Amino acid sequence: MHDTILLITAVCYLSGVFFLYMAVAEHSDRKRIIAVCFTTIGVLLHAWAQTRHWLIPASPQISLLNVWSLCSLVSVAIPLGSLPLRKNLFDASLVILPLAVLIVLAEWALDAPRLEISQRSVGIAIHIVSSVISFGVLSIASVYALFVASIDYLLRHHSINKLVQTLPALETLEELLFLLIKAGFAILALSLVTGLIFVNDLFAQHLAHKTLLSIFAWLIFAVLLWGRWRKGWRGRVAVRMTLAGIVLLLLSYFGSKLILEVLLQRSWHS
């Protein structure tokens, strides 16, 4: 049943992005409404599938793909939820919906290692899950940043081709980019706080590389959000700082193991 829900969700998202692309290309309100309907059905089914991981079992077993799937659900729901606003962000779904389709299909097709969340390890579980969710949300923000950079480059070079005309407006993508950065920033802060509270000797268990890189990434996003609030930073500055932050998180989550085992010839447990 769960696999069927995921498959239908992917079909709805795919249909949503198809009709939204046609709506933007043809300036068709009718096709945009159809896109909204398919996306809404997809979000509802996606949320239903996620509850079977997070809420129903007494001791949930969460995989990395489940967490990525949750991140994609949030990223699709944000522009969809902005529809009642005067300045909605739904056209930015052209960027996230294809990525959500790939993530949902990966969750449907692949069997990833699972983390069991029990009451005895709830603090550690919150730290681990919040770390992965923050990385997922900020990774999706980095995808938006790349689109912002691409559109900004084409506009600066007066290359207004068919592709640029069918992509969401630069301002729309930037608004959603900063919404995702704010969400990822807050969840990353939760990850750091829970790590300090629940992980014994966070700086002494050969985790110093991971911890320091995560803190530096958090500081970069903090400066970026401050600059956006006080100085109105946008465009290339926002893109560069977003990508710098996600590179530090990549090094934190995946590079620290390389540093320990290859460069320092040590293991996590030594």
pLDDT, residue 60, reads: 58
What is the DSSP track for 52-72?
A: HHHTSSSS-EEEHHHHHHHHH
- Give the per-residue pLDDT at 63: 66
Pick the most confident of 14-18, 75-79, 90-94, 260-264.
14-18
* 8 A C-beta contact, residue 81 and residue 23: no
For residue range 182-200, what is the model confidence (pLDDT) as tens digits? 988 999 999 888 887 776 6
pLDDT at 266: 47
Burial pattern 175-198, b for ≥16 Cβ within 10 A else e, equals: bbbbbbbebbbebbebbbebbeeb
Residue 212 — pLDDT band, cuts 50, 70, 90? Answer: confident
Rounded Cα distance between 185 and 188, Å, is: 5
For residues 130 and 126, what is the distance between their CA atoms, to the nearest angstrom?
A: 6
Contact 245, 220 (CB under 8 A): yes
Domain-wise residue ranges, the chain: 1-83+92-116, 118-270
pLDDT value of position 8: 94
Show Cβ contacts of residue 78 under 8 Å, excluding neighbours closer than 6 positions. Answer: 89, 176, 179, 180
Q: What are the tens digits of pLDDT across the range 81-133?
A: 888 877 777 887 888 898 899 989 988 887 766 655 554 566 776 777 787 77
Q: C-alpha distances in angstroms, 100 versus 10, 43, 46, 195?
A: 8, 10, 10, 29
| Each residue's pLDDT tens digit, 3-60 | 889 999 999 999 999 999 888 888 888 999 999 999 999 999 999 988 876 665 555 5
Residue 204, Cβ neighbours under 10 Å: how many? Answer: 8
Q: pLDDT above 90 covers what percent of the chain? A: 19
What residues does 62 pair with on adjacent strands? 115
Share of the chain above pLDDT 70, in %: 75
